[in-house]
Structure 1
């Protein structure tokens, strides 16, 4: 099915799914938080935290992911062509936009709402399950589970959503660039 979709259709489906996650995080926060102002507690422009607990962990994840891609046969990392179709024909700016919208919407829901309400393990497991296309690919599944726990742990240490968004963005943006510029 993915092969029959145009680049524009794939991007629209991605944006719609991320808007749904964003709306779900807003809706859940109404029921789970006493006051909407609780959101502001999780945003801090602490540059040192963002670098040490956001950017550096994101770079570590990318290096480990690239190592796994190098070590394992391609079939272990094949997600059905979705990521290639999503990133291959995009401009760097478009990849940046996609990575940003995914990082913000997913981290708001999984760290900002689920992790703060139900805990670190529950949020990380649900994050992994949402990436359903990886459930039949053990290497991808373990990779996503590791990333989820690692980013969730960074959020546990800092309580700063900007750190988890930064880390998630770095991972998606750099791996999107790798796909885009792959021969």
Structure 2
């Protein structure tokens, strides 16, 4: 039932409307991260916002590896395995690279601030990864996408722990994945319209 109602909602929304809702949700996530940070974290670890270029490179390389794996799977598995109800295609369709950059940077900062910076720091890798995966509701009815988001969530969480709970490497990894796949989806939709 949820799958059909979500598909109907997406079908009736324009890409601009979906992006508007995405921006609102990301600002809500940032606000939630700030509120939960004040409640659960009396002291923010000094290391959380340090800049370590080696760790940033680990985040970027990890993100690129995820994108390569996703692109390989897109060539191997049937296309319906990656069907999220058309949400990603509508969000990224025809967007310029600067707009994709800004949107995916906001998503990466907001989600990593909440899921790694607050939830994982306070409650650990497993709790943060499960909550992160559960918030991606559109993947619940697609076993392949659900497994994909669970594995990805644990991988990002592992990077956060492995880099001594520095937030920037996980933000860079999340951003790299969303940015590169956003460009891929945007350009694919342009090619499909030309063909």
Task: Provide the TM-score with structure 2 as the length reference.
Answer: 0.90
Structure 1: 4+ residue segments shifted above 6 A: none
Partner of 1:123: 128
Task: Verify the 8 A CA contact 2:16 2:91 in the aligned structure 1.
Answer: no
Contact 2:50 2:166 in 1 (8 A): yes
Give the Cα separation in 2 of the matches to 1:130 and 1:14: 13
1:21 to 29, 50, 68: 29
The alpha carbon displacement at 1:8 in A equals: 2.1
Per the TM alignment, residue 84 of structure 1 is displaced from its structure 2 partner at its CA by 0.1
Superposition deviation, residue 48 in structure 1: 1.1
**Residue in structure 1 matched with residue 18 of structure 2 by the alignment:** 10
Distance in 2 of aligned mates of 1:40 and 1:62: 31
Which residue of 79, 82, 101 corresponds with 1:77? Answer: 82
Partner Cα separation in structure 1 for residue 30 and residue 119 of structure 2: 12
Q: Once the two structures are superposed, what CA deviation does each residue of 1:28-75 show, in whole Å capped at 9, x if it has no partner?
A: 01110114xx165301111111002x0010001101111111111111
Specify the SS of the correspondent of 2:98: helix
Q: Do structure 1's residue 142 and structure 2's residue 147 form an aligned pair?
A: yes
Q: Report the alpha carbon displacement of residue 93 of structure 1 after superposing the two structures with TM.
A: 0.6
Work out the CA distance in 2 between the residues paired with 1:170 and 1:99: 8
Could you tell me which runs of 5 or more consecutive residues in structure 2 were left unpaired when the two chains were aligned.
1-8
Report the TM-score, using the length of structure 1 for normalisation: 0.95
